[in-house]
Amino acid sequence: MSTEAHYDAVTDAWTLILGDNLHYGYFADGTETLAQATDALIDAMAALAPMSRETALLDVGCGIGNPAFRLAERTGCRISGISISGRGIEIAGEACRRRGLSERVAFHQRDALANGFPEASFDVVWVMESSHLMPDKELLCAENYRVLRAGGTMLLCDQVLKRELSIAEIYRYRDDLARVERAFGKAKMETLDHYEATMRRQGFVEIERRDISREALPTLEKWKENVERNRVALTAHVAEEYIDNFARSCEILKDLFARELFGYGIVKGVKGGQ
């Protein structure tokens, strides 16, 4: 199944599991609800780049739009959200109209690796937990660099490898990784070192990175709890086999975090030049 087809198929179910933000949370002390923690991750990212009503932001992999809505309502910035999922764009567009944000926020079904926007169109490119789905990180960073104005900022957060896996580890965890892929979609994860090096090759400067694996980890237990809480409702959208596999995948990911193989990070880079 293609990435586009996978996300069209699971988006409605994921709102019952991952919540409206469809991404990991930032649990500063572990007492937060999932909704509070996912909002906190948006805020942690947003704190790395100044935004105002004059800011034009590209949201790459916009999900169903909630991070864009939070940014628009809090900063007044203008946002173009893109996703390859037609279903996600449909839900985001409907929510945008309900919220009365259509003058400042718009969503488009486009490919992040060839987004179709003119050069130097944006002050901020926002890549929230979508880069792991894109096999060519070099092209992703190049395309983001192209559409940024000089001095503009790229902000990225995602699940990452803590270090490169050995062939033996890939073989050892092959069944677990295949199970996770069936739940979350085909991914190509990289280390924070890889992201930084890739961004530098494309010309980004002032690169900052932050490992927030500890703060992100509680998300997985929250997702598993939501699977059990919403199991009956989930059967209207996905098969029981998928539901069981998702719950098991959360346990696998928790183990991979504990083994310091998987983690979560934030990276910031600035486009140089005048």
pLDDT tens for 207-230 read 999 999 999 999 999 999 999 999
Which residues are CB-contacts of 254 (< 8 A; sequence separation ≥ 6)?
A: 217, 220, 221
Q: Which range (10-19, 36-45, 99-108, 174-183) has the least confidence?
A: 10-19
Taking CA atoms, 123 is separated from 49, 52, 75, 177, 232, in Å, by 9, 10, 13, 37, 44
The residue ranges of every structural domain in the chain are: 3-162+188-218+261-271
- What does the pLDDT average to over 123-151? 96
In this prediction, residue 114 carries a pLDDT of 94
In this prediction, residue 1 carries a pLDDT of 55
Question: pTM for the complete prediction?
Answer: 0.94
Residue 274 has pLDDT above 70, yes or no: no
User: Which has the higher per-residue pLDDT, 229 or 8?
Assistant: 229
CATH number for domain 3-162+188-218+261-271, candidates 3.40.50.150, 2.40.50.180, 3.40.50.300, 3.40.50.11540: 3.40.50.150
Confidence of residue 6 (pLDDT cuts 50, 70, 90): low
- What does the pLDDT average to over 136-153? 97
Classified as helix, coil or strand, 80 is strand
Q: How far apart, in whole angstroms, are the C-alpha atoms of residue 14 and residue 82?
A: 18
In this prediction, residue 11 carries a pLDDT of 84
Residue 146 has pLDDT above 60, yes or no: yes
Bridge partners (DSSP) listed for residue 268: 155, 208
In this prediction, residue 138 carries a pLDDT of 96
pLDDT digits (tens, 9 = 90+) for 247-261: 999 999 999 999 999
Element (H, E) at 101: none
Which residues are CB-contacts of 8 (< 8 A; sequence separation ≥ 6)?
A: 85, 86, 87, 88
- Cross-sheet strand order for the sheet of 122-128: 105-109, 78-83, 56-60, 122-128, 148-161, 262-271, 204-211
